[in-house]
Amino acid sequence: MPELNDWAAGFQPACCEACDGRYLQPKSRELPLCPNCARAELTPCDPPNGIAPPELILPFAVSDETLARQLDDFAGGIWFAPTDLTAARLKHRLQPVLWPMWLVDSQVEALWQAETGFDYQAVSHRDQFDQKRGGWNSQEITETRTRWEPRVGRLNRQYHNIAAPALEEHASLLRRLGKFDLARSQPYRPQAAMVRLPNRSTTDAWPETAPAFQTSAAEECRQASQAQHIRDFRWTTRFQNQNWTLLLLPLYATYYVDDNRQPQPLLIHGQTGRISGPRRASMARARRAAFVVAATAAVIFGLSLLLGLASLVAPPLLLVAGLGLALAVLVGLLAIAPLVGVWLFNRNAAGPMKE
């Protein structure tokens, strides 16, 4: 069995057979359900070779009050929520998980060309014929226009901390949870939290950094040209001396068990408390409610029929029987409300984290 690096000595490697997620779990803790998919419990596995130690970490920053409010909001307001979906249970199952991302520094040599835009004020006049006064009315208008000039240049400099995904799910995670304030990152110190291991190597992640390098470079070329705008930025580049850093992002994972006994995973942003994951109402509970309402309608219907029979001997009862039948139909129609309500809610609810 290959040895773990020193930094990971206090952890045991654990894997999810359902989603192939790999983790390091503090040795003092039991192996939980997979925080990513919640479809399987993590099992011990061989440590991956040469896990680069993390250099930076974003500390957990969401307050207990915010977290509690977010959990209340998530679990509350669902018509026929699954029995297991309560804020208390979500809170009880909370566990901190650190998600990896890469940052890369690189020396960049480039030849660039672009169009730079300079704003200037242009004064013009608008002449309008005034019907009432019977004469021309001239109005001075100042507007901002942009003069575009082609520029070429050479660039040679070091760029720092360009973000790159260390997980296939990185983009979907950010879409669901929102961005992280990377400026708050600190030097890594071991935490009592599980660490998700990258499933994208730096080689895989490198091509995705190109747009960020280009955006940074274009902005600098704009500043260097003292222009207000830049467009059609193109460059030929040589990247050298890349230096990769592993940064860990703070998340909480929790779950609830739905009607089909399927745990539904939730992930929570460790800085803002925003929650992402499937928020489902319970069709089983809605069916039970619909059954109770329908049974009530049936009882009213039966009683109304009996009253109808009784009206043969006591005619005034016929009116009551008629009202009873109408009520039975009304209550019977209400029975579909829980089913339609839950169906609509689940259709509009956020889907599970698949990407």
What is the contact surface with Zn ion in residues (CB under 5 A)? 16, 18-19, 21, 34, 36-37
Smallest separation (angstroms) from Zn ion to the CB of 34: 3
Concatenated DSSP letters of 3-20: PPPGGGTTEEEEE-TTT-
Rounded-to-integer distance, Cα 68 and Cα 46, Å: 37
Question: What do you get for the CA distance between the two ends of the chain, in Å?
Answer: 32
Nearer to Zn ion, 18 or 182 (CB): 18
Smallest separation (angstroms) from Zn ion to the CB of 151: 50
Smallest separation (angstroms) from Zn ion to the CB of 249: 18
Please state whether beta strands 194-196 and 95-130 pair in parallel, antiparallel, or not at all (unpaired).
parallel
What token pair was written down for 118?
Answer: 């300079």
Smallest separation (angstroms) from Zn ion to the CB of 14: 10
Nearer to Zn ion, 255 or 345 (CB): 255
Nearer to Zn ion, 16 or 218 (CB): 16
β-sheet bridge partners, residue 102: 164, 246
In three-state secondary structure terms, 107 is strand
Smallest separation (angstroms) from Zn ion to the CB of 257: 16
Nearer to Zn ion, 34 or 110 (CB): 34
Handedness of CA 70, 71, 76, 79 (dihedral sign): positive
DSSP 284: H
Smallest separation (angstroms) from Zn ion to the CB of 278: 15
**The residue count for the chain:** 355
Rounded-to-integer distance, Cα 110 and Cα 245, Å: 24
What token pair was written down for 281?
Answer: 């109402």
Nearer to Zn ion, 200 or 222 (CB): 200
β-sheet bridge partners, residue 195: 24, 98
Nearer to Zn ion, 154 or 261 (CB): 261
Nearer to Zn ion, 40 or 310 (CB): 40
Angle at 181 between CA 175 and CA 186, to 5 degrees: 130
Smallest separation (angstroms) from Zn ion to the CB of 33: 8
DSSP 197: P
Smallest separation (angstroms) from Zn ion to the CB of 38: 7
Smallest separation (angstroms) from Zn ion to the CB of 213: 33
Rounded-to-integer distance, Cα 21 and Cα 169, Å: 11
Query: Are the C-beta atoms of residues 45 and 53 closer than 8 Å to each other?
Result: no
Nearer to Zn ion, 16 or 177 (CB): 16
Query: Are the C-beta atoms of residues 54 and 249 closer than 8 Å to each other?
Result: no
Nearer to Zn ion, 189 or 261 (CB): 261
Query: Are the C-beta atoms of residues 221 and 97 closer than 8 Å to each other?
Result: no
